[in-house]
Structure 1
Amino acid sequence: MQKEYNLSQIDEIATAILTQSKHKIIAFHGEMGVGKTTLIKVLAKQLGVNELTSSPTFSIVNEYHTTNDVLYHFDCYRMEDEVEAYDIGIEDYLYSDAWCFIEWPERIQNLLPEEITEVNIKKINEQLRSIHLKN
């Protein structure tokens, strides 16, 4: 999937990601402020998360309960190295068969399973983004 979208279309984009993703581990790539966390909040809501979602910047991982599953939202931006990921038990999360949404996945690239969905978001201008989904 390759599309351009604005904030008013984010629900459609989230639906397309959930429909087209072949994997429950989704890695979100994009520069700071491009809208990764905003998109993940909409994805969580569509999966049935009723609680308030926020960026796990300082906690590194937040856990949410969906309608019939668990969602782990990671923000790896503050990780210095992959040892920190091991310290939080990243392997347990990644191989739990739960949804795993990972911001800044390049910080733990060597730890990610081969079978993941990659989402790349780029800022075109203040209102417009492009998204590319790769399974």
Structure 2
Amino acid sequence: MKITFTLDTIDKAAEEILSQCQYKTLLFYGEMGAGKTTLIKSLTKALGITQTTGSPTFGIVNIYEGNGETIHHFDMYRLKKEEEAFDIGFEEYLTSPYWNFIEWPEKVSSLLPTNTTKINLKILDHTTRLCTIDNGSNELK
């Protein structure tokens, strides 16, 4: 499924994305500046999280809780090697019943479960993004 959105329509897009997800582990692909973190903020809002959310680039993982939901938000950009994910207990997060939002999943590709939803963001212009949603194996098609 494909969804085109802008900042003005991102909250509606987030609700549509969540309605299409078959799995609670979402992998966010896209170049730097594509809006992965911004989309995740809207997804957490759509799930009822009211606390401030932001990029976990330096801490690698942020945990958000509220409205009966728990979300683990990972940013793997700074990992130099895949094994560094073990230092934060990554495999334990993945076996939890909670939401896992993972930016830069290609950095930990061999550690990812099979049942994931891939979210690929593409920059169409300075205000518009194309989001492709794929529920399947952990290889982005």
State the TM bucket, normalised to the shorter chain: over 0.9
Whether the 8 Å contact between 2:49 and 2:69 is mirrored in structure 1 is: no
User: Quick check: 1:24 aligned with 2:24?
Assistant: yes
| Distance in 1, Cα, partners of 2:45 & 2:12 | 13
Cα distance, 1:80 vs structure 2 = 0.7
Cα distance, 1:96 vs structure 2 = 0.4
- Deviation string 1:65-116 (CA, Å, 9 cap, x unpaired) is 0311210000000001111101111010011011000000000011000000
Number of equivalenced pairs: 135
TM-score (norm 2): 0.93
| Distance in 2, Cα, partners of 1:133 & 1:66 | 25
Alignment map for 1:1-16 (pairs within 5 Å): 1-16=1-16
| Distance in 2, Cα, partners of 1:87 & 1:10 | 33
Alignment map for 1:1-135 (pairs within 5 Å): 1-135=1-135
| Distance in 1, Cα, partners of 2:97 & 2:30 | 25
| Distance in 2, Cα, partners of 1:113 & 1:66 | 25
Q: Where in structure 2 are there 5+ consecutive unaligned residues?
A: 136-141
- Please identify runs of 4+ aligned residues in structure 1 that moved more than 6 A: none
SS in 2 for 1:134: strand
- Structure 2: which amino acid aligns with 1:91? E
| Distance in 2, Cα, partners of 1:5 & 1:47 | 19
The alignment-based identity, stated in percent, is 47
Cα root mean square deviation, aligned: 0.7
| Distance in 1, Cα, partners of 2:121 & 2:49 | 23
- Deviation string 1:37-57 (CA, Å, 9 cap, x unpaired) is 001001111111111101000
| Distance in 2, Cα, partners of 1:29 & 1:52 | 23
Cα distance, 1:7 vs structure 2 = 1.3
- Structure 2: which amino acid aligns with 1:104? W
Cα distance, 1:4 vs structure 2 = 1.7
